[in-house]
Amino acid sequence: MKRPRIVTVCSLLIVGLAQLSLSACTPPKEKTDTTPQATRSVTLDSGLCLEYLEAGSPDGMAVVFLHGYTDSHDSFSRVAPLMPREVRAFYLTMRGHGNSGKPGAYAMELFASDVTGFMDRLGIEKAVVVGHSMGSFIAQEVALSHPERVSGLVLIGSGASCSDNKVLAELKAYVDTLKDPIDRGFVREFQASTVAAPVPDAFLDHVVDESMKLKANEWQKVLAALMAVDHREQLSTIAAPTLVLWGEKDEVFGASEQLFLGTHIPDATLKLYADTGHGLQWERPQRFVADLSDFLQATQQ
């Protein structure tokens, strides 16, 4: 079967969007760098073990980062060293991914429950929740189901629904044929196809390493759960201030999806990244951190 192309032709409403805004887990390996961060694991009340990275001030504003499909907390490894030290940042590896537990159940409601369960265990009352791709739909679910826990919402490469997304449907048709061991060449092609601007080879190699930690059934079950998500009728109830970030060359979720988010989430701001693809935090980490930092300051006022 022909492998799906995650990057397809997208020309939806880019001019209109630009007018809106221009601006039981595996023990973690020891880190050898000298930055003030540590990879840890926590067991939730549900019994699920999650790996995470914590960095910044223990007294700082809590920000929880949620990665995309088949990634891990290292999806934000180009971002973490740039984050303001006064922010208390948590980078989670979600169930089924990386070195976190793999319970076999992957509904978005369960992912969202893991986030609030994690916050409970760490004593975090409220947080800004930042999600990329799949993580953005988990973040939406947290904001919808537990609004009292979300002080701000940041959606990267997101949309309102996955249920009728043609790119994801094409991907699913291929993923459903996967068998173990998964071909590393396919994984690299999948990850590389989501970016439009160059990223370091070493970073991409590590992203592929993390995706290779999922077995075929996890690729399949997680994607099936993701494609069941449809928040179009609920977005208007999101109360948290929301920042929507989108690369104009993101061809997983198009410009029309961003306009829908921007017009249906009551307190939403949209920002467009020119010449950037689906993984804008990979491709433009400095600008991403600058935009996120501005948003964090605004939510504190």
Q: Is residue 134 part of a domain?
A: yes
Beta-sheet pairing, 61-66 with 127-132: parallel
From residue 197, give the alpha-carbon distance in Å to each of 147, 191, 192, 271, 282: 35, 13, 10, 17, 9
Give all strands (DSSP E) within the chain, no chain letters: 37-43, 49-55, 61-66, 87-92, 127-132, 150-156, 242-247, 268-273
- pLDDT over threshold 70, residue 147: yes
Using CB atoms within 10 A of its CB, is residue 275 exposed (0-12), middle (13-18) or buried (19+)? exposed
- Whether pLDDT at 110 is above 90: yes
Cα–Cα dist 243/236, whole Å: 15
pLDDT higher than 60, residue 90:
yes
Q: Which of helix, strand or coil describes residue 225?
A: helix
Q: Is residue 3 part of a domain?
A: no
What is the residue type of 131?
Answer: G
Q: Compute the mean pLDDT over every residue in the chain, rounded to the nearest whole number.
A: 90
Percent pLDDT > 70 in the chain is 87
Confidence of residue 25 (pLDDT cuts 50, 70, 90): low
Question: Quick check: 1 pLDDT over 60?
Answer: no
CA distance 251 to 256: 11
Query: What is the per-residue pLDDT across 241-286, written as a single tens digit (0 to 9) for each?
Result: 999 999 999 989 999 999 999 999 999 999 999 999 999 999 999 9
Q: pLDDT tier at 301 (50, 70, 90 boundaries)?
A: confident
Please report the pLDDT score of residue 96 as a whole number. 98
* Least confident residue range of 24-28, 67-71, 138-142, 176-180: 24-28
Asked whether residue 1 is assigned to any structural domain, the reply reads no
pLDDT tens-digit readout, 112-135: 999 999 999 999 999 999 999 999
pLDDT at res. 36: 43
pLDDT band for 160, please (50, 70, 90 cuts).
very high
> Residue 277's closest CA among 257, 252, 249?
249
Asked whether residue 205 is assigned to any structural domain, the reply reads yes
Q: Which two tokens stand for residue 13?
A: 């409403």
Q: Element (H or E) spanning 20, and its range? A: helix 14-20
What is the phi/psi pair of residue 110, to 5°? -70, -40
Query: Which residues constitute the domain of residue 171?
Result: 14-300
281: closest CA among 254, 246, 233, 235? 246
pLDDT at position 15, please? Answer: 39
How many domains does one find in the chain?
A: 1
Kindly state whether residue 5 falls inside one of the protein's structural domains. no
CB burial of residue 287 (10 Å; 0-12, 13-18, 19+): middle
CB 155 within 8 A of CB 190: no
- Two structure tokens written together for 288: 């991403």
Residue 6: inside a domain, yes or no? no
pLDDT band at 37 (very low <50, low <70, confident <90, very high): low
| Rg (the chain; Cα; Å) | 18
Instruction: Give CA–CA dist 238/235, Å, rounded.
Output: 6
Q: 255 lies in a domain?
A: yes
pLDDT of 8 higher than 50: no
Q: Which uninterrupted H or E stretch holds 173? A: helix 166-175
* Nearest C-alpha neighbor of 215 from the set 189, 192, 182: 182
pLDDT classification of 18: cutoffs 50, 70, 90: very low
Task: Give the tens place of pLDDT for each residue, 74-89.
Answer: 999 999 999 999 999 9
Q: Mean pLDDT over residues 23-46, rounded?
A: 61
Give the integer Cα–Cα distance in Å for 231 and 236. Answer: 9
CA distance 247 to 240: 23
* Of the candidates 3, 17, 39, the residue with the CA atom closest to the CA atom of residue 244: 17
Beta-bridged to residue 161, according to DSSP, are 230
Q: Cite the beta strand spans of 57-205 per DSSP E.
A: 61-66, 87-92, 127-132, 150-156
- Residue 2 placed within a domain: no
CATH number for position 88 = 3.40.50.1820
Q: What percent of the chain has pLDDT over 90?
A: 86
Query: Helix (H, G, I), strand (E, B), or coil: what is residue 155?
Result: strand
**How far apart (Å, rounded) are the C-alpha atoms in residues 77 and 125?**
25
